Amino acid sequence: MRARVGFTIIEMIFAVVLLAFFIYFIANSFVSTKKQHHMNSEYLTRAYIADVVIKLIKERIEVNPNFLAGINNIGNNNNLDKSSCLVNPIAENINFNQLLNKPDYKVALRDIPVISYADADKESGFYFGIIEFKPENDLFRGSESGFKTFLNVNELEKYSYDLKISNDSQANPVGLVKIIEVTVRYNGLNQPDPSPFKLTTKIVCPVSSMSSATYEEIQKNLFKEIASDIYTSIEADLARGGFSLSALVAGIERDCKASTFSTMKIVDLGMPENAPDRPRAEAAFKQILVLHCALELYQEAISELNSELALLGDKDDVVSTVKVMDNSVQKAQWALQVLEVTVDPIDDILLALKPAGIAPPSPDAMFNYQVPIMAMRYLLSASENDRDSTRISRFVTIAESLPQEYSQSMQEAFTRVNRLLQSSYRKLTPRQLQKYSRSMLSFYQLASINSSRLTVSGPRRTATELAQQASSTLSLLYSFYGENNYLAGVEFVECEKQKLQQFNSISATRLKEMIKKIQKFNNLGGKLNQLKAELSKIDAVARGAQSVNLVSAPYDVNMDELCDVYLKRGRQAVTEYLERCRREYEASLQN
Amino acid sequence: MQKLSDIKSGLNRTNKRGMALPVVLVLFSTLSIGIFSLWIITNQERGSSKNFVVNTKAALLADAIHVFLTAQAYSAPWSERFFKEKQRFPISSAGTGTWAGKLQASIAEMYKSDPWLAANLDYRGDISSTVKDDQKIIIISVIIENRRTGDMICRHKYYEVYKRDLIDTIGEGVSLFVDETESSDSPSEDLPPELSQT
């Protein structure tokens, strides 16, 4: 019997059906997997683009802190060239004062192409609407090789994104926090992208792009704290010396009693009728001590910082420049802080020097001079740190050095960093260049702000001279960035050059709080001299060299004589003495 | 009795007939393995794409919280700061005018703008302060979690040196960021060396 080989027809049909089913299943799986892969790829590309845009914008703001203010300006312009609007937003002449005074902020740009070309040859154009590429730019040279291939340019041409930047209305001060929202769309379909990808975050607005109102609010908050560090140092200094305010007052009381002048001999806060004078004396001496400690601490700190500065020499290297910058900032900081804690106490001391309740003339009127006399005795005695000078004279000398120290420190910092930039800008890293050029501009602002109102003795450079030096450094940086096609850097320098030219008008509104502080430097000297004059007057009264015109009693009284009468013959004799003065005065009128 | 040759031919026939199914099955298995591998790879690719998106969005949310709280720190003088004691967020009963209420409203705006965030991410953390060598330091810790599973996506710690006055304001601020996501230890209370050595 011969064996039957091959398949039966049923087997064949079964196998074909099974195979067809398998092929259909496999093909279907393959197609859906491929589709999923494409969807993933597009989704991921959208995500990458959004991430890159956020990073580029953050980086751009880092390089040019004026960028946010600039695109706000562009954002209000209806005729936008979307392909290049973010590339160089502030290149044209712009009124920065007007720009920075805008309190509202809203930028909304739609459909910025991820890649756009400025010419038909596709030789130049923009990536992400942010980075400009040109044939002469080495980084982007080469048609399909290198960077373009790396970016998969052909695929990226199909994407675009929307950019929204606005103030976070919940954050205080409004304008300090900006919301950035990027929505990426794929435009390779015949219909609008059904699943655009969105990324959103917040950033802190740099000072250079902040509206003046927001900046002023921040400054006010920061200035409320300016004195606290000095007060802490004063308290620590006093605590170290085991200091007691009542012991100091008692010591001065004893010192007055030991004097040869009767006006001082009668100082006695222990008398029941002088009870209100003790808290008054303690309050006055508290302020005197604040003044004393603040100025002495300042003097000590400045001496130390000057010694450090002397050791640094006149080198132009990065390390020395950073140290000088730090040293100068500390000195200027001290000057500002000490200024803050000395102006108000002087007002209080001047008030305490006015003999309260002197009228009507009575035997007790003379006691009203006790607090002023005690204050005078302390302030006119020899300084512990300079035996040739009285305390008040030393205070005046130190206080007069404050504006000079502030101004010179800022000028020193400016000069050093400016010199470093001019001599070594080609050697510095991009980050160092950014950091030091910003520091230089900050020092310029602080050194030249309101400088005409600063009464500084000795040679002082004018704001114009500083501006010229800053401008020449910016020109060097401009050429350097230009040569290297570092366009964000060029944009930063362009903005800063314009701001430099407009500095006087910008600073008047922009740095209002700082100007108010600086103006106090001038008041300080005047107030201390007024204090000195008041003390001399009290000294003359105490020594009997000058008679006092009592309130509601037009005749003059010699306090030393009056106190002498009191000490020798008691209160009744004082009444008689005052009555005699009155009669003499009336008689003089009749004559 | 069956002849040996008949038995052999019978076996032969059975063998030849039985080849169709194994051939189809082998072919199917090979293709299935191929497709399955492709599916696995695509799925992994999808997973890594999803991870990239989740991590990116989570990191930006953490940055946004940090930025908001830093701004709040400058909305009042240092002595009146709301984080003298360590403050945790979010606070469920936060009033509208309070810092916590404002933070929640601000993040709610982000959630509204990107509903994916609202559906997938939760945040928590704390803000505190310390003074080291006369430097006032703001410490903000943010943890972003998966809303559905509760798994931690990222843990970032930010250190900001508070500016004292205008000289500091005009100059450059000091800011440090530490990504503690991969750290298995509990959050450290120590300052990073960059700040503790100053």
Q: What is the nearest CA distance from B110 to chain A, expressed in angstroms? A: 7
Q: Is B151 helix (H, G, I), strand (E, B) or coil?
A: coil
Q: What is the model's pLDDT at position A458?
A: 46
Q: Pick the residue with more confidence: B94 or B109?
A: B109
Residue B5 clears pLDDT 70, i.e. is over it: no
Residues of chain B neighbouring A44 (CB-CB closer than 8 A): 49, 52-53
Residue A88 confidence (pLDDT):
57
Closest chain B C-alpha to A297 CA, distance in angstroms: 16
d(CA A54, nearest CA chain B) in Å: 10
* Distances in whole angstroms, Cα of residue A104 to Cα of each of A101, A107, A178, A204, A209: 9, 10, 11, 16, 12
Scored b (16 or more CB within 10 A) or e, A507-517 reads beebbebbeeb
Instruction: Give A347-369 pLDDT, tens digit per residue.
Output: 888 888 877 544 445 556 666 77
Residue B128 inside a domain? The answer is yes
C-beta atoms of A5 and B16 within 8 A: yes
Nearest beta carbon to residue B106 from set A168, A204, A336: A168
Closest approach of chain B CAs to the CA of A2, in angstroms? 8
- Chain A residues touching B47 at Cβ < 8 A: none
Cβ neighbours of residue B161 closer than 8 Å, sequence gap 6 or more: B135, B136, B137, B138, B173, B174, B175, B195
Q: Is residue B161 part of a domain?
A: yes
- Find all residues with CB under 8 Å of A144, minimum gap 6, and list them: none
Write out chain A residues lying below 8 Å of B105, CB-based.
170
**Is the predicted pLDDT of residue B71 greater than 80, yes or no?**
yes
Q: How close, in Å, is residue B130 to chain A by CA atoms?
A: 15
Which pLDDT does position B20 carry in this prediction? 65
Is A116's pLDDT higher than 70?
yes
**The dihedral of CA A49, A55, A61, A62: what is its sign?**
negative
In terms of pLDDT, which residue wins out, A96 or A288? A288
In-domain check, residue B7: no
Q: Token pair of A48, please?
A: 């990458």
Cross-chain residue pair A445–B170, CB shorter than 8 Å: yes
To 10 degrees, the CA torsion angle through A41, A47, A51, A54?
140
pLDDT at residue B126 tops 90? yes
Binned at pLDDT 50, 70 and 90, residue A102 comes out as confident
Query: Shortest CA distance to A425 belongs to which of A410, A412, A440?
Result: A440
| Residue A37, min C-alpha distance to chain B (Å) | 6
Burial state string for B76-104 with b = 16 or more CB within 10 A and e = fewer than 16: eebeebbbeeebebeeeebeeeebbbbbb
> Is residue A388 very low, low, confident or very high in pLDDT (cuts 50, 70, 90)?
confident
Mutating which of B142, B167, B168, B177 best tests the A interface, going by the most A Cβ atoms within 10 A? B167
Q: Mutate which of A2, A61, A180, A200 to disrupt the B interface (most B C-beta within 10 Å)?
A: A200
Q: Given pLDDT bands bounded at 50, 70 and 90, which one contains residue B8?
A: low
Distance from CA of B83 to the nearest CA of A (A): 15
Under an 8 A CB cutoff, do B46 and A26 touch? no
- Pick from A14, A26, A200: which is nearest to B60 by CB? A200
Q: Which residue type is seen at B44?
A: Q
Going from the C-alpha of A283 to that of each of A287, A352, A358, A394, A530, the distances in angstroms are 7, 9, 19, 22, 20
Residue B2 maps to a domain: no
- Scanning the structure block, which residue is given the tokens 């040019």? A64
Cα–Cα–Cα angle for A366, A368, A373, rounded to 5 degrees: 90
B142 found inside a domain: yes
Tally A–B CB contacts below 8 A.
187
**Which residues neighbour B160 within 8 Å (Cβ) at sequence distance 6 or greater?**
B70, B73, B137, B138, B140, B173, B174, B175, B176
Work out the mean pLDDT of chain A and round it to a whole number.
82
The encoded tokens of residue A268 equal 């006695």
**Residue A267: what are its φ and ψ, rounded to 5°?**
-60, 115
Q: Do A218 and B20 touch (CB under 8 A)?
A: no
Q: Which residues pair with A431 in a beta bridge?
A: none
Residue A504 has a CB neighbour count (10 Å cut-off) of 12
Q: Residue A2 CB: number of other CB atoms within 10 A?
A: 5
Q: Which residue has the higher pLDDT, A72 or A389?
A: A389
Contacts (Cβ under 8 Å, ≥6 apart) of A559: A263, A366, A369, A541, A542, A544, A547, A548
Which residues of A are less than 8 Å from B39 in CB distance? 29, 33
Range of the domain at B127: 40-196
User: How far is it, in rounded angstroms, from Cα A215 to Cα A173?
Assistant: 9
| Rounded-to-integer distance, Cα A232 and Cα A276, Å | 29
User: Is the CB of residue A261 less than 8 Å from the CB of residue A543?
Assistant: yes
User: In this structure, what token pair is assigned to residue A585?
Assistant: 């005065």
Task: Say which of A3, A171, A517 has its CB closest to residue B68.
Answer: A171
User: Left (φ > 0), alpha (ψ -120 to 50) or beta: where does B35 sit?
Assistant: alpha
pLDDT of B97 strictly over 60: yes
Mean pLDDT of A527-536: 89
The structure's pTM equals 0.79
What average pLDDT score do residues A233-247 get?
Answer: 83
pLDDT of residue A580: 83
Q: Which of B20, B32, B56 sits opposite A15 (nearest CB)?
A: B20
- For an interface test with B, which of A42, A225, A297 has the most B Cβ atoms less than 10 Å from its Cβ? A225
- Percentage of chain A exceeding pLDDT 70: 86
Residues ≥6 apart with Cβ < 8 Å to A352: A280, A283, A284, A287, A371, A372, A375
The per-residue b/e assignment along A336-372, b for 16 or more CB within 10 angstroms, e otherwise, is bbbbbbbbebbebbeebbebeebeebbbebbbbbbbb
Q: How far is CA A195 from the centre of its chain?
A: 45
Q: What local confidence, expressed as pLDDT, does residue B46 receive? A: 75
Residue A65 to residues A208, A380, A561, Cα–Cα distance (Å): 6, 53, 72
User: CA torsion sign, A509 to A512 to A515 to A519?
Assistant: positive
The distance of A335 to chain B (nearest Cα, Å) reads 12
> What backbone phi and psi angles, to 5 degrees, belong to B10?
-60, -45
CA angle A17–A21–A26, rounded 5-degree value? 145
* Of the partner residues A1, A181, A229, the one whose CB lies closest to the CB of residue B113: A181
Number of domains in chain B: 1
For residue A136, give the DSSP letter: T
Residue of A nearest to B42 (CA): A37
Nearest to A325 by CA among A415, A229, A230, A405: A415
Residue B28: is it exposed, middle or buried by C-beta count within 10 angstroms (0-12/13-18/19+)? middle
CA distance A262 to chain B (A): 48
- Do the Cβ atoms of B160 and B140 come closer than 8 Å? yes
Average confidence (pLDDT) over B139-160: 93
Mean pLDDT is lowest, of A153-157, A501-505, B92-96, for A153-157
The residue in chain B having the minimum alpha-carbon distance to the alpha carbon of residue A219 is B166
- Checking if the pLDDT of A454 tops 80, the result is no
In the predicted model, what is the mean pLDDT of residues A483-509?
86
Question: Region A87-114: what's the mean pLDDT?
Answer: 76
Question: What's the angle, vertex CA B181, arms to CA B178 and CA B183, rounded to 5?
Answer: 90
| Residue whose structure tokens are 């105490």 | A542
Inspect the interface and report whether the beta carbons of B114 and A200 lie closer than 8 Å. yes
| Vertex A373: Cα angle to A368 and A376 (nearest 5) | 145
Buried b (16+ CB within 10 A) or exposed e, A441-474: bbbbbbbbbbbeebebeeebbebeebbebbeebb
- The SS3 of residue A315 is coil
Q: Phi and psi for A38 in degrees, rounded to 5?
A: -65, -40
Q: Which residues of B touch A226 (CB under 8 A)?
A: 164-165
Bridge partners of B88, per DSSP, are B126
State whether A332 and B169 contact (CB < 8 Å): no
Quote the pLDDT of residue B185. 61
- CB distance A3–B9 less than 8 Å? yes
**Cβ-nearest to A36 among B46, B53, B61:** B46
Which helix (H) or strand (E) segment holds residue A131: the answer is: strand A131-133
- Residue B75 has its nearest CB partner, among A22, A36, A173, at A173
Tell me if B29 is assigned to some domain: no
In degrees and rounded to multiples of 5, residue B161 shows phi and psi of -85, 120
CA distance A274 to A484: 80
SS3 of A371, please? helix
